[in-house]
Structure formats: structure tokens, C-alpha cells
Amino acid sequence: MSANSIIADVEAAHREVGEAVGNGKPFTVTLIEPGAGQTNPWDPPESGDIEHGGIVATIGTVPDRWIDGTLIRVDDELINISGAAPQIEQDWRVRMNGLEYAIQAIRKQNDGGVVLRYNLVLRR
């Protein structure tokens, strides 16, 4: 079984779970990639934010062993998304249910060097 077919299976599982708990609709989020900055603060930004919408997600619970009270807190939220999503960076944001969240931590579930799933710890 190839890595791409495993990623497709993970994506399908997220969609199925989302449909089961989302009133017939998968739960989706938008990943917001910050645009290129500016060389000088008085210059206009080189480009705006890039939005990657329709990313299927499931909500999880932050494991107690991850909570350290500073980087990851008890009130943070956890979402899981397929590895088919764009490669996520720490400075990205997530929009779900009309609210934007900062990414506090990214945990990748790898298999043979291929990301199958991202676990994102979010904070408002």
C-alpha cells in the first residue's frame, strides 16, 4: 500500500466521521497561510494571506501528557486533519466556526517519512 493511498484513506475517514457528527456535513476548517512580509515597514505588504479552505477536520482532546501550562494549556483545543492538507507551519492560523485560532503546536503522525495526519493544538 503506497503512502498516497494511506493518506487518501485517512482523508476518507475524516470525511466519514465528520458526516456522522456534523449533521450530514463534514466539519471543515480554513488554514490561513500568512502572506509574504514587507522588506521595509513603510512599504505595502508584498502579498496578502493565502486561505486553504475546505480542509476536513475532526475535533480531539489535548492529551494530558502534552499540557505543560505554558506552550500547551488545559483550555487549548485540538483538531486532527489529514496529511493531504498543505504543509502547515507554526505561524499559520486556523478559522473554524467563524473564529480564528493561533496554532500553538503541530504534531505530525508520520509513516515512512510521509505525513499521514496533523494534530494541531489551537488557542483563541
User: Grid coordinates in use for 59?
Assistant: 475535533
User: Which pLDDT belongs to residue 114?
Assistant: 83
Whole-number Cα distances in Å, 43 to 34, 47, 48, 50, 53: 17, 12, 13, 20, 29
Q: Is CATH 3.10.180.10 the classification given to domain 3-36+57-123?
A: no
pTM: 0.77
Alpha-carbon distance of 54 to 97, in angstroms, equals 12
Q: Look at residues 118, 109, 111 and name the one whose alpha carbon lies nearest to residue 56.
A: 118
Q: Which portions of the chain are predicted below pLDDT 50? A: none
User: Which pLDDT belongs to residue 20?
Assistant: 58
User: Which pLDDT belongs to residue 88?
Assistant: 93
Q: Quote the DSSP letter at residue 64.
A: G
> Alpha helices of 23-123 — where are they, by DSSP H?
none
